[in-house]
Structure 1
Amino acid sequence: MSQRRREPHPDFDDPIISESEGVRYLHFNSEWIQGAMRVSRPEKLEFEYTQQMMAWLLFLAPPIDRDIGILGLGAGSLTRFCQHHFDSNIVTVEWNPQVTSLCESAFALRQTDRSQVVHQDAHDWVQEPYNDNRYGVLMVDLYDYTAQGPVCSSAEFYRGCRQVCRDIGVVTINLFGHHGSFRKNIRHIGSAFDDRMILFPETIDGNRIVIAFTGPPLRVARQALQQRAHQVQSLYRLPATGWLKTLLRENGRTGDVLEF
């Protein structure tokens, strides 16, 4: 089902593109990169932080009975990856229709019956009763042209994210570790998800990915998680074994049975 395009809005940032060494970049008239695509391999996740946004795969198989939600289109990296690898329905929420148009013309984005872009404010979208508990996975990557603090960071917003994946699910959230909003976001995420979260260390670009859990407490054998990491690495060409080691070390998870 196609989405009806809205007219250009005076508050929308104008997206522009650049290209270097086979990689195409999305900007908003600033030095900050909003997303990237390797032209020869559009499905590849070019940045470390976008790869880490997929770390929910360590804990949850791609959902079939519920959808995958992505808040923030950027250059379409997460959407293209999910389209390429999964059979799940995918809903991407993007505030700026100009970004969608540019992604369709320059970043190999395609909308299908099972993958649609919705033009809506992400804060409003997570509050809609229609989205209550429809999603098994939610990936949150919401930045404007300054690319510093997330544009949605309230306690109400994160409670909405939990409600979207209420019964059982995993939410990954892109924060900037060195930005002044980081502690506020961590406090609000912790409150919304009953402190059921783990964090990656900060990447070289300053991103810090949070993984939050919904549903019943998760207790899993370390060996089972290690086996899952090897499967994810083999299936999706993602550094999942390294993720697991880093996450367990960074968050002080020890023992043969781990709780999340």
Structure 2
Amino acid sequence: MDTANGELLHREEWNDHLIEIIASDGLRSLFFASRFLQSCMSVNHPERLQLSYTRYMLLGLPALESVQHILIIGIGAGSLIHYCHHHYPESVIDAVDSSPRIITLARQYFMLPEDDRIRIHCADGLAFLEEAAAGRHYDLILVDAFDHEGMAENIYSSPFFRRCSTMLADQGMLSCNLWSGDDHLLGTIRQSIAAYLDGHIFVSVPDRDNAVILAFRQPVPWDRFIRSREEWLELEARFDLDFRTMLKVARNESRSLLQRLFPVFPWS
């Protein structure tokens, strides 16, 4: 069946919520309620991040010295799993989603990678942290837990971020995708994260309603972003991300915090 936006591969009602999967120009997209694009994947290159907010979630990768253990809260179509599995071939990934149906669709339509390095968990994200993941430490925690109504309330909450803070490695990073339509809610979330983690980068994703917050146990290690042009080119090729452009956006949004360091950055 064809739709105005491409070929409709799948449509169903799950728990009174409409889920659609549409194919177009080599891409497969997961929609909630016909309006909310949740994930998008290239069939030929599933490791490439198609949506800009997912790329901004990873703009802090140059600050991480080692990534061996990764936690992903919110599987969706598995874009972040594909990316991390490809770019960190020696890492172990815990991926958590509360919807068994979403996990099944990710397997059926989005080639969800599964091997001895990827552990898929059908569980509430907060409950997973409190029970199954107790005692573990993660170098990278990615939070992208949305449904048709927006951010999952129990995930974007003070108890959740408190648990994240206890499980984040000393040199690790927490990265959260936020929906920026509610300024009061965004402020509450930022305060919750700041209560438990000292370093933060907040970025509004250009031309989207998403925002991203990156958080660290220590103050943001800005010195790790001071690199030569050749080093940036190597990193950008390795991770398939335009770090310098994204960092310019972060600089412009957080100028008061970064004005001491960013003037010496080799942007050209």
Taking structure 1 as the reference length, the TM-score comes to 0.84
Code of the residue aligned with 1:243 in structure 2: it is M
Given the alignment, which residue of 76, 90, 115 partners 1:112? 115
Query: Which of 22, 26, 30 is the matching residue for 1:26?
Result: 30
Gap change, CA 1:149 and 1:240, over 3 Å in 2:
same
Matched residue, 2:7: none
Write out per-residue CA displacement over residues 129-169 of structure 1, whole angstroms, 9 at most, x where no aligned residue.
Answer: 744352010000011122x3343222111111111204331
Which residue number in structure 1 is paired with residue 172 of structure 2?
A: 169
Unpaired segments ≥5 residues, structure 1: 1-9
* Paired residues of 2:64 and 2:171 also in contact (CA < 8 A): no
1:97-176 alignment runs, 5 A limit = 97-128=100-131, 130-146=133-149, 148-151=150-153, 152-176=155-179
Q: Provide the residue aligned with 2:3 in structure 1.
A: none
Any conservation in 1 of the 2:19–2:34 contact (CA below 8 Å)?
no
Give the match for residue 78 of structure 1: 80
**Cα deviation per residue 1:65-123 (whole Å; 9 max; x = unaligned)?**
xx111000011000001111212111111111111111111101121100121111011
TM-score by length of 2: 0.82
Work out the CA distance in 1 between the residues paired with 2:140 and 2:248. Answer: 22
Name the CA distance, whole Å, in 2 between partners of 1:118 and 1:109.
13
**Residue 232 of structure 1, CA deviation:** 2.4
Could you tell me how far apart the structure 2 residues matched to 1:169 and 1:221 are?
13
Deviation at 1:179, TM superposition (A): 2.1
Letter in 2 for 1:238: L
CA offsets 1:178-222 (integer angstroms, 9 cap, x no match): 22521211111111213x211112332200010000157736265
Q: Residue 254 of structure 1 is aligned with which of 254, 259, 267?
A: 259
Residue of structure 2 equivalent to 1:38: 42
Candidates 215, 221, 229, aligned match of 1:212:
215
Matches of 1:235 and 1:36, distance apart in 2: 21
1:25–1:37 CA contact under 8 A, matched in 2: yes
RMSD (Å), alpha carbons: 2.5
Q: Mean alpha-carbon deviation: is it higher for 214-223 or for 132-141?
A: 214-223
- Compare relative contact order (CA 8 Å, sep 6+) and give the higher one, 1 or 2: 1
Q: In the alignment, is the contact (CA less than 8 A) between 2:18 and 2:34 conserved in 1? A: no
More strand by share: 2
Counterpart mapping for 1:176-195 below 5 A: 176-180=179-183, 181-194=185-198
Structure 1 pair 120–222 and aligned structure 2 pair: CA distance change class (3 A): closer
Percent of counterpart pairs with the same letter? 26
Decide whether the 8 Å contact of 1:91 with 1:115 is kept in 2.
Answer: yes
How far did 1:62 drift?
A: 4.7
Aligned length: 245
Deviations 1:216-237 (A, max 9, x none): 7736265338765433212122
Whole-angstrom distance in 1 between the partners of 2:63 and 2:144: 20
Q: What secondary structure does 2:177 align onto? A: strand
Q: Secondary structure at the match of 2:147?
A: coil
Q: Secondary structure at the match of 1:110?
A: coil
